Each structure stands twice: as structure tokens, then as C-alpha cells.
Structure 1
């Protein structure tokens, strides 16, 4: 029978050896500088195995990252293009997001090479990339665009209409003679022809800035009703209706232009677009309310966006896709 003291000495020696023993690397036939390999250690106490792969990778990338990552954000399209050209490679691409809420351009520098997946159980897909190195440009919608689209959602009293027109007079331009109906339509400039077509489609005519100011300050509207009767010769019945006519303070029929022109940029620091604005009014009792609505603003928005995307594509020479890149 072993003496208890002998057993205690052996236990003490074992514990002492465990505590003093060094951690020993386990040979996995891996190069110690290979960040893709597992690095294992045999620890003294209980000879447990610890996976220190992540710690080794952190140590190896402490002073220098293993790859370029992050998203650079830009305030101008030119800066976005210059940065993309600085870092682009053979596999880099650009994504264009057409969202009306927040249009944007994203360049993915480390995008996947063009090919089908090449899966290997040991090395994985040779053509897979993390797509973590990116540039982002969010198109800043101009203040003018925000203001004129916001007023389209409102009904304005006469005083509010006058204040709005005076405050944003810089955006309003007088129509050219061709838009006012002078001269032959076939002699109109290329930019005038679509606006002439809009007026014809809406059965309207363009007003000048001075006329808008005059109406917003002095317009008074009176409504007169005329009884109209129509007899049906087949059954002898008579239909009666009232036809309303709007007149000014002197009793003359109102002649109000229902269109005028503004020139505003869609995006901040962008070129101005000539846009027709519909002018309408409604009389409720003694009060008159007005509406100002940009005609087909989507056309100008997507045209400005496409122009910017084409510029980025031409200057970066990169494949461009409409949509959003995968989440890295």
C-alpha cells in the first residue's frame, strides 16, 4: 500500500511540472506566417488545446492590414471618380442606385472576378472576394428641387402664393417667343419643342413672371352662373344645368396662364433644367386657393441621374450596374 506522503509528493510534482512546463506548438505542417492556417498550442495545465489563430492574425496585422477595407464617402462626383481611378483594378465595378429618396453611386474596388464559381473543398472559390473596399457618393438633391417639389403638396392662399413667388423669383424664367406662340413651331430650338408639346397636351399657355406677380397681388375672382337647357327631341325631356364662368373685378372673363417656367438644378451644383410648372386655382366661397405643380418631375430627375452615371462610367472606364452591391 502506497504511503499517503508518497502520493502527495507525486501529486505535487505533477502539478509543479504542469505549472512550469511551456506551451508547446502542435505541428500542423503549416507555415507560421500563413494567416489562412490554424495555429494550435498545447497548454501546460491539463494539456488542453487552445486555438490561437485569431490572436496570431491580429498580431500579424497589428501594424499593417492584410487587405484594404472600408468605405470612403464623397461630397462631389469628381472626388468619387478620382478616388475610384486611384484604387481601381481589373475587377472593380460601379453600382448606381436610382432611388428617388437617396440616389447614389458605389464603387467596389475588390469585386469578384468575372467567372462562374470554382469551388474547391480545400481552398474554396478562387474567384471569391470580400468586396470590402468601397467608395460611396450620395447625390445631394438641390435645395431648389426640394422646395418646388414640397410646394406641390400644398394649397396656397393668395398671400402665400405672392410670398412664395417673390421669395423664389430667381428660379422663374420668362418663356421664349416660341413658347408664347410667336413664330413657326418648326423653327423652335430643340429645348423649346418638348415644352411646346407639354403646353399643347395640357391645352395651356405659358405666363411671364410679371403676370404671375400681378395675379398673386391683385387677383380677384368672381363666379357667375348661367342656366343652360337642352331638350331631347326623342322623348321631349329637358335637361338643365348651370355653367360657371370666372370673371375679374371688372366683370371681364379671366385670362390666366396655366403654365410658367422655372430653371433649377436637380442635384446640388448640377446644371439647371427648364421645367414647366402647372398653375391652378380653386374658389371656395369668398376664398381662392392655388396650386403650383412641376409637370413630370421624374423625367428631369432620371435624366440628371443618368447624365451623372454616364459621366462616372466614361471617366472610370468601369462596368456599371443599376442596383445595389451585396452587403460585405
Structure 2
């Protein structure tokens, strides 16, 4: 009797083991030869006997990985120097630079694991990006361009940004004075104008006259006086020299000075001339500098997503 019970118990264990084995997943190694590049020589998959389906074991394997299988991700640089430094730290012989040079979103992108013709394709997922963060000074000039200002506000703006006024170079004079038929002002002349305007902030603007030199004058008079008004010379063009990007080189942009008189009230405004062109020129220069200092090929445009 005891022997029969032992045999019955063994049979139950055997049936249970066979049933468990019949439903348990089985790891199978597949050889993916002929299926294209980028695959390992042996590919492990789990065969689910119960569902009669193959399942990937990649997720399970990744839980136990102690180091990444490859470099990937995007680093963001805040300055051109940092961008160049990061690229030099991680580049290889097939890395490449791309530059989107047009406004409003200029950007340099280094694809560190880029492809090369004749070699196996790579992942293109390890990158460094420099998005040309604008300086507050440059944003102030751009945001104020072509916007009418009261006399007091305009004078205060010029005073606040006096450090960004530049003396015109000979080439700039010979280019812009004939183009606009205006006289270019020095920084001291623009500052002198702003201080004159502060004095006449409560006065009425009477008229504007163009002089033979190309300069213009505005006559200011006090309402309660009959005395002859004082004239202020208004330059037609001045140069702005301001770093567009954080820790970047200054960008030189000509600005046209304008005013409108209506009923004795005067509004002032300036217009930055083709500032997008000068910004694009600076971005293109920075792309060339990055290519030179990293020794990598550069392309205008964007890499594959």
C-alpha cells in the first residue's frame, strides 16, 4: 500500500512537471543572417508555448544592464566655445556639423555618430546642439526697432544703450551715406542728441529742415514764450555694435533715425537696417569657426531626424 502511494505521488509530480514545462517560455537563439546590417550574430527570443507566440526579451535584459550599450542623447551648449569643446570631446572621424543660419531659430547641431557612404549606417542619436541664445541687449534693440517713442522714453533708451553705439568705419560711411542720403553720426553725436531731447522734453516741436550737409534740424519752442526756438541737429544714421549671442562677437548694424511731428508733438523711432541679414552672416561665420576648430565637415541645413 505504501509503495502504491509512493508511485502515485511520483506520477503526480511527473505530470505537474510536464504540464509546467509545456506552458513555460523557452529561450530560443535565432541567427538573423541575411536580414540586413545592424543585427547581432545571434538573437535571443522567448517562445511562449501557451500563447504559441514569440516575445522579445530586450526589456527584461535592459533591466539588468549596468552600462549603456551605446552613446545617445543631446547635449545643449550655451556658448559657441562650449559647443566646440563638447564636440571635440566626443567626435570621431565620421562626425558632422549642421547649421541652420536663418532667423528666427538659428542653430548648430553636431551629429557625433553620423553616417558615411560606404560604411554601415549608424544611429545618429548622439548630438550636441547650440541654439544661439540671444543677449538681452540685442533683444532690446530688435524689439524697439520701428516702434514710435515719446521724446523722454527715446532719450532714456539711447542713454541706457550708449555702450552699444559705435563709430562708423570708413567703409560703412562710403556705403550707407550715399545709400540713404544721410549723414552718419558718431556715438558722441547720438548721445548729445539724447541729452538735448531731455532738455526739450516739455517743448513743442515746430518744424524740421534738411541742411545741405544731409543733416536735419528740429526747432523746439516753449508754449509760454515768444522767443525764437532752439534748433537741434538730427543725424540720419548711426551704428549699433552689440553681441547678438551670449559670449559672442559684436554684430554691427546700421540704424536709421526717424521722427514724426504732429500738432507740436514729436515721436521718435529708429529702424535697424536688414538686421536679419547681419545676424545670418554672424551665424554663418560661427559655423565656419566651429568647423575649423573641430576639423569636421559642415553643412548648411538640418540633419535627419
User: TM-score when scaled to structure 1?
Assistant: 0.71
Asked if 1:25 is matched to 2:9, the reply is no
| Cα RMSD after superposing both structures | 3.1
Asked if 1:40 is matched to 2:33, the reply is no
Cross-structure match for 2:296: 318
Asked if 1:289 is matched to 2:259, the reply is no
Cross-structure match for 2:115: 112
Cross-structure match for 1:169: 162
Change (3 A) 1:281 1:30: closer
Cross-structure match for 1:95: 98
Pick the aligned partner of 2:69 from 54, 66, 70. 66
Q: 1:205-228, CA deviations, whole angstroms, 9 ceiling, x for partnerless residues? A: 12313431244224542149xxxx
Q: 1:11-68, CA deviations, whole angstroms, 9 ceiling, x for partnerless residues? A: 998566313665443464579xx85644334456x47344234246525x71122211
CA shift, 1:312, in A, is 0.3
- Name segments (4+ residues, structure 1) moved above 6 Å: 10-13
Change (3 A) 1:40 1:151: closer
Cross-structure match for 2:213: none
Change (3 A) 1:18 1:314: same
Unaligned stretches of 5+ residues in structure 2 = 1-10, 34-38, 209-216, 222-227
Measure, in 1, the Cα distance between the counterparts of 2:237 and 2:51: 86
Cross-structure match for 2:122: 129
CA shift, 1:140, in A, is 1.6
> Secondary structure at the residue paired with 2:103?
coil
User: TM-score when scaled to structure 2?
Assistant: 0.76
> Secondary structure at the residue paired with 1:277?
strand
> Secondary structure at the residue paired with 2:109?
strand
> Secondary structure at the residue paired with 1:221?
strand
Unaligned stretches of 5+ residues in structure 1 = 1-9, 116-125, 180-190, 225-244
